[in-house]
Structure 1
Amino acid sequence: MFGAHRARGHATMGTMATTLTGRQVAELAPDGWVLVGDGLRTCVVTGGFAAGLALVDAVGAAAEQADHHPDLDLRWGHVDVRLWSHDAGGVTQRDVELARTVSALASDAGLTLTVAGLQSLELALDTPDAARVLPFWEAFLAYRRPEGGQDVRDVAGRLPPVWFQESGAGEPRQRWHLDVWVDPGEVRGRIEAAVAAGGRVVDDSQAPAFWVLADADGNRSCLCTWQDREGEEGA
C-alpha cells in the first residue's frame, strides 16, 4: 500500500528517556518551533554571519551545561536548530527544555524564530522484499541500519534516510517516492500550490498523517505530518 508510513513511537523501552507524542510536543514546545519527521526544529533569523556565530556559541555553552546537544546549521542570515534525543529515538522533555533555552537566547540577542519552509526529507523505495534489497543500499550508500529498523541512515546525519515500503509483488508500483515532512499548518497551502502546478491529490484517506500527491506523469510522493499517528489522540 502506497503511503503506509511508519508510526512514530512514543515510548522506548530500555532507554533513559521517554519520547513525547506529536500532540504533546505541539502543546509543550515554545512558539517558533515545529515537529517534523527528523525532530523539533526552528530557524533563527540572524541577518548576518556574526550574529549567527554568536548565537551558536551561546547555544553551545547552554547545551554543554545541559549535557544535551542540538544539531546546528550556521548559514549567512540564519541558524537552523534541530533537537532530537538519540538515546530515546525521538523528541523528549529534554528537547522541549532546550528549545525554550534557545528561544530565550535568541530573544536576548534580538533575533526572531520562524518555522516557515522548515521540512525534512525521506526517500522511500517500494519493494515486495525489503530484506533482499536493504543490504545493498546499506553498502552502496555507506549507511547503517538502526537495530531493528526498516531503514538505513547516514551515520553523520547529513543526508536523507532511506526506508523500504512494502508493496505487493504483482501490483504496479513506482520504485521511488519522496516523503516530505512539514508543519501541519503548511500542508493546505502546499497541496494547493502543487495542484495549481499541474498535480493532483491521489489519496487523502490517511490525512492528516499523510496525503499522496502525483505530478502530471503520475509520479507519487507524500506530504507527512506528526498528526493522527499511532498513539495520537486525533488530529
Structure 2
Amino acid sequence: MTKLSGREITERAPQGWVYLLGALRTRLRTGDFATGLALVNTIGAAAEAADHHPGLDLRYTYLDVVLSSHDVGAVTGRDLRLAATISELADSAGVTVDATGLTVLEMALDTPSPERVGFWEAVLGYPHDGDELKDPAGKLPTIWFQRSGDEEPRQRWHPDLWVDPSEVRPRIDRALAAGGTLVSDAEAPSFWVLADPEGNKVCLCTWQDRG
C-alpha cells in the first residue's frame, strides 16, 4: 500500500474524519453505551472481513476511531476505504460521525542533547523510536526530544497539540482573549507557537506543509 500525503487524505476522507498525527480519526456520537457497544461489534465484523483493524475507544456517549496502516506506518487507501465503511455503519445505526474538537497531545522536551533519552525510556517504559518515545498501547502522549540551546532560563517541556486546520484560528482567538500571546507564526500552517500569560509555550500543530 502507498503512503498518502496529508492533502490526499483530507481531500479523500469521508465527511467527519480528520487527519491528526499520522492517523485518520473521528468520533461517533453514540449518545449511550449500548449503542456504542453494538456499533463496536458491527465495526469489528467489518474490520475482520477487510482484514484491517481500527483502534476503538468506547466511552459512555461516544466511540473514538483511529485508522492507520501499521505495515506502512502511515494512512493508506485501505484506511480510507474502512473509514467509508464505518461511516456507512454509523449512519445505518443513526449515529453522527463528527470529529469536531478532536485533538492529539504529544510532549516535547527541549534539550541540547536529544540523543540522551535513556532516563525517560527507563522511567516511562516506552520503546525508543528515533527521536521519540511512544506508548505501545497508544494511550499516553508520545514524548519527543527537540534540540535546543542551553541558555538559561529556558522552558524544558512544552505540549504539542495536534488539531484539524479548521480548529486553529478559533483556538488562537480564544487563547488571545484569555490573556495569551501569539509568539510566532513563522512556521504556519505547520505550527503556531502560543504562550500563556506567564510565558509557558504550546504549539498548535497541523498536517499542513509537512511533505
Q: What residue is the counterpart of 1:27 in the other structure? A: 11
Identity %: 60
Across the aligned residues of Structure 1 and Structure 2, the Cα RMSD in angstroms comes to 1.1
Structure 1 CA distance for aligned equivalents of residues 21 and 127 of structure 2: 18
Q: What residue is the counterpart of 1:139 in the other structure? A: 122
Structure 1 CA distance for aligned equivalents of residues 22 and 194 of structure 2: 21
Q: What residue is the counterpart of 1:99 in the other structure? A: 83
| Structure 1 gap ranges (5+) | 1-16
Q: What residue is the counterpart of 1:8 in the other structure? A: none
The answer to whether the aligner puts 1:152 opposite 2:155 as a matched pair is no
Structure 1 contact 38–120 (Cα < 8 Å) conserved: no
Structure 1 contact 122–160 (Cα < 8 Å) conserved: yes
Q: Deviations over 1:79-100 (max 9, x none)?
A: 0101111111111111111100
Structure 2 CA distance for aligned equivalents of residues 59 and 65 of structure 1: 10
Q: CA deviation at 1:152?
A: 0.4
Structure 2 contact 22–75 (Cα < 8 Å) conserved: no
Structure 2 CA distance for aligned equivalents of residues 137 and 92 of structure 1: 32
Q: Deviations over 1:40-82 (max 9, x none)?
A: 1101111111110110001001111111111101111110101
Q: CA deviation at 1:173?
A: 2.8
Q: In the alignment, which of 175, 196, 199 is matched to residue 177 of structure 2? A: 196
Q: What residue is the counterpart of 2:96 in the other structure? A: 112
Q: CA deviation at 1:171?
A: 6.5
Q: CA deviation at 1:172?
A: 5.0
Q: In the alignment, which of 49, 54, 60 is matched to residue 38 of structure 2? A: 54
Change (3 A) 1:22 1:172: farther
Query: What is the DSSP-based 3-state SS (H/G/I as helix, E as strand, rest coil) of the residue aligned with 1:131?
Result: coil
Structure 2 CA distance for aligned equivalents of residues 182 and 135 of structure 1: 30
Q: In the alignment, which of 191, 206, 209 is matched to residue 210 of structure 1? A: 191
Q: In the alignment, which of 110, 124, 143 is matched to residue 162 of structure 1? A: 143
Query: What is the DSSP-based 3-state SS (H/G/I as helix, E as strand, rest coil) of the residue aligned with 2:194?
Result: strand
Structure 1 CA distance for aligned equivalents of residues 18 and 138 of structure 2: 19
Q: Deviations over 1:115-167 (max 9, x none)?
A: 111010000000010112x1111110010012xx1100111111111000011
Q: In the alignment, which of 56, 77, 86 is matched to residue 61 of structure 2? A: 77
Q: Deviations over 1:178-232 (max 9, x none)?
A: 0000011011000000111110100001111000000011110100000112x2x
Query: What is the DSSP-based 3-state SS (H/G/I as helix, E as strand, rest coil) of the residue aligned with 2:66?
Result: strand
Structure 2 contact 32–60 (Cα < 8 Å) conserved: yes
Structure 1 contact 201–212 (Cα < 8 Å) conserved: yes
Structure 2 CA distance for aligned equivalents of residues 213 and 94 of structure 1: 36
